[in-house]
Chain A
Amino acid sequence: MGSVRIEKMTKSFGDFTALHDINLDIKEGEFFALLGPSGCGKTTTMRCIAGFENPTSGRIYIGDREVEKIPANKRNCGMVFQSYALFPHMNVFENVAYSLNIKQLNASNPIKQMGIYGRLLSSRLGKYPADIRNKVMEILKYVELDNHADRLTSELSGGQQQRVALARALVMEPAVLLMDEPLSNLDQKLRHSMRNTIRKIQQDLGITTIFVTHDQEEAMSMADRVAVMDKGHIVQIGTPTDLYSNPSSPFIADFVGTSNILEGTVEGEENGFTVVKGEGFLLRSSTKTKKKSVDVIIRPEHVKVEAADSVIDHNETNVIEGTVIMSTYLGSIVRYDVQVGSYQLIVDTTYSSGANIFEEGKKVKLTVEHERVLLI
């Protein structure tokens, strides 16, 4: 098991710089997500760790070992590929046993090697020793595939193939487990249960795990910490709650959950609150800032909707006036689109039966607590 540390890593393909100055410090046993839109460099980062790409500059450490000059086959990173990349000519057992065969191959004399090559080409050409057999069956049992050991991988369902890929990576007892969009090839339902399975295995084994995803929900629900990437930069690293409540940029606020982002100008200070003015609103925020023009971030669920004639104490909370342009009933919540100045704000309110829903065209007052107005 090992930690992973990346220092000042860059990667260019010709004129195109895919990664700018990447720094990561992933602790031993941590479940770490690389999150970002496609083309942000998250997969390239992972491929650099695995050794399929050579960084243009910078250092990568797995445990205490500096690895960027060590070839991919000696890095001991188990990888689960997006397409699973199972060997189609081998059955489940042979797929999982592959790394153990290779390990033995490297430790054998040429004559023994012939036998190992034989069984790698066809299980009829060589017998598996008991220790390999036991180890493979143990891990297959762990992923609940011990009954499918003799099946061809093409005969398995998507979820089963995923577990074969996982077992194949785990059996080599890797220092780090790398997963490239592990859930993207599964249907919605399976994805949910697989999420739990992966998380449980990771916790059981305590294996350092890095996984790449473009799905913020996946990253937020599974990972201990998340690095959000954009255009080859890491824009923020933090725990899921950290990222959600303290996004460092409008990009993250928007990428991690839904946000209302407004442009504002700082007017000054009042009772310890920062006063921000923008088109159609005047807000007080508990965020301190030295900037003049700021982005104002307000999460939809932090806004309350009140009738236009209700009396609200302006010292207690922020009040914005607006007009409902659409209301969508989503079961447990009601989502309003409210026109405020030139902005359309999204507001989510919990719905309890019997409460009335503000109709389209209705004038309303929106309230947001000072702590919930973020200035970036």
Chain B
Amino acid sequence: MNRLKNSLNGLTVVKVLIFIFFGLFMLLPLLSVFVVSFTGEPTNLLGALTDPAILNSTIEKFKNISLDNYKRIFSNAGYATALKNSLVLAFTVTIIIILVCIPLAYGIARTKMPFKKTISALCMIPLIVPTFISAYAFIIMFGRAGWVTQIYNALGGEGMLLNPYSMAGVVAVQVFFFFPYALWPLVAAFKVSDISLEEASQNLGAKSWFTFIFVTFPLALPGVISSALLIFTVSFSDFGSPIVLAPKDLNLLVVEAYREISGFFNWGGAAILTVVMVIVAAFFFYLQHLFTKGKNYGSVSGKPKQQKLIENKLLTRVLSGYSLFIVLIPLLAMLSVALQSVATTWGKDLLPSGYTLNHYKTIFSTSMGNIQNSIMLATGALVLSVIVATFVSYFVVRQNSAKLDFIASIPLVVPGIAFGIALIQTFNTAPLQLTGTALLLIIAYTIRRLPYMVRSTMGSMRAIKADIEEAAVNLGATPLTAAITIVGPLMLPGIAAGSVLVFITVIKEASVSILLAPPEWAPMSLAIFQNILRAEYYSAAAMSVILVALVLILQAIASFIGKKQQL
């Protein structure tokens, strides 16, 4: 009894609240989606706990549990194709990205190619831009009226160089906008692998291409595989580019699931697709985790190795030209969006017919609300995730709560669209009717981006020794007061860095916004998406530019904080 009383201090209450938070807003939705995928109709698990009538009907539904739905998915051509297409998409993107990145990474890591700094800097662009904007940029470039198509036709080509509204279009967007995820791990892998082994190979008489294929590449292979698995998960879960580009006859899981829920309210179908998505994403995430466990390719530590960079003129020039081509495409895509945002009209011509700031004026007069919404929602998610992440890292680091550590990393494997469907499905009826409220949107953003925040706060938490906290308690502070006055301020740099990251990702977020945002809370991403759907391309472009500018500013703040922290 006494033990119970002792442990019932403020911190324990907080811990319980955190578990309730995750349980209610993450585990319960995922569980109920799982249940619905079997019952085929909405199941109100929360209601079953509070209302006997609902409990009875839920029990009825449980009696109907069958594998019928799953049987149907494999007989339903639509679903099966969707799964197949999604896997093909992710697989193709992965292979292409790895092939594209190997020369690029090799050039950055091992050669003195010209414009290396510029190339590295330009590789940041794809990370800043949300994929639904990149997809839309590809329409401006490669669409029927796109300027690339114009050039292509002028040069004698027929039709389109690349049809953006196709599988190839989705692949292209993902390749050019996801490659940095693989690039930096690969650069690290190439830097780490031992140069003296290569020299030994050359010394033994091997030609340099032979050395690359049989020595350098195998040494970097673990890095390559782990990046490939990461890309696979990212591509598989991406919602932005398929929803903008995928044509009606191209079934993809994310798009299919979105249509089931927003068009047909087919709970059973959406649930099955969600479960399949989570399983696939979790499996590949797990593979990647398994692969990187105990290895640290990202960080080069210890004694700096003397790196001899290759200076061969022909090789470095070819590599440099190739790299510039790769990084220029995202840049051109963004410039196209910027150009469209100031164009009066931009039809089937190389350049717009005239320039105007009217689209920005329109945005600032009619769509100011979306910008405000984005900032308010992102701030809300930031505050909530700071609170949750700080306590989560406290419990994980100080009390070795492995359970919380695991729970807080679950969002990493749940695709946004899947999580959105799970939330809608769980909270659209009493007792907790939250669907369509800003609160649920904020909670969704928070949970989705929590792993970033936790990683950041956990780092600073580990740097605080336990006895500093004990000293505070010894001086009369309750554990909670000690956490607020000592641990909190000491974690501030980590919290600040994590918050900026959360803010940025929330502003960029597409899937959850599109699924969950009520009209009066529509953020910028949803407004852009709707504008694209309504073919209001000029306002979409202007809004995109504002969004990217906002992200750029925040990114600058983040790197400033990061630098200050290192000093």
Contact = CB atoms under 8 A, between A and B. Distances in A.
A binds B: yes
B473 interface: yes
B536 interface: no
Interface residues of A, number: 33
A77 B476 CA distance: 9
Given A54-B6, A85-B467, A89-B490, A72 B481 contact: no
Contacts of B481: 102, 105
Contacts of B484: 117
A170 B191 CA distance: 54
A106 interface: yes
Contact of B468 (A51, A85, A103): A85
B520 interface: no
A162 to B, nearest CB: 14
Interface string B463-506: 00101101111111111010011100110000000000000000
Given A88-B490, A102-B481, A121-B485, A79 B471 contact: yes
B2 interface: yes
A50 B470 CA distance: 10
Interface residues of B, number: 22
B56 interface: no
B432 to A, nearest CB: 30
A87 interface: yes
Interface in B2-40: 2, 6, 9
A52 B470 contact: yes
A114 to B, nearest CB: 12
Contacts of B2: 69
A255 interface: no
A52 B470 CA distance: 8
A105 B481 CA distance: 10
Nearest to A96: B475
A103 B471 contact: no
Contact of B477 (A50, A52, A102): A102
B217 to A, nearest CB: 46
A102 B6 CA distance: 21
B467 A121 contact: no
A25 to B, nearest CB: 23
B475 A99 contact: yes
A56 B341 CA distance: 71
B6 A78 contact: no
B61 to A, nearest CB: 46
Given A85-B467, A102-B475, 18 more contacts: A69-B2, A71-B9, A72-B473, A73-B475, A76-B476, A79-B474, A81-B470, A83-B465, A85-B471, A87-B468, A87-B471, A87-B472, A87-B486, A98-B475, A102-B477, A106-B476, A121-B485, A168-B475
Interface of A: 50-52, 54, 69, 71-74, 76-79, 81-83, 85-89, 98-99, 102-103, 105-106, 117, 120-121, 168-169, 172
27 contacts: A50-B474, A51-B473, A52-B473, A69-B2, A69-B6, A71-B478, A72-B473, A73-B475, A73-B477, A74-B476, A79-B470, A79-B474, A81-B467, A81-B470, A83-B467, A85-B467, A85-B468, A87-B468, A87-B471, A87-B472, A88-B468, A99-B475, A99-B476, A103-B476, A106-B476, A121-B485, A168-B471
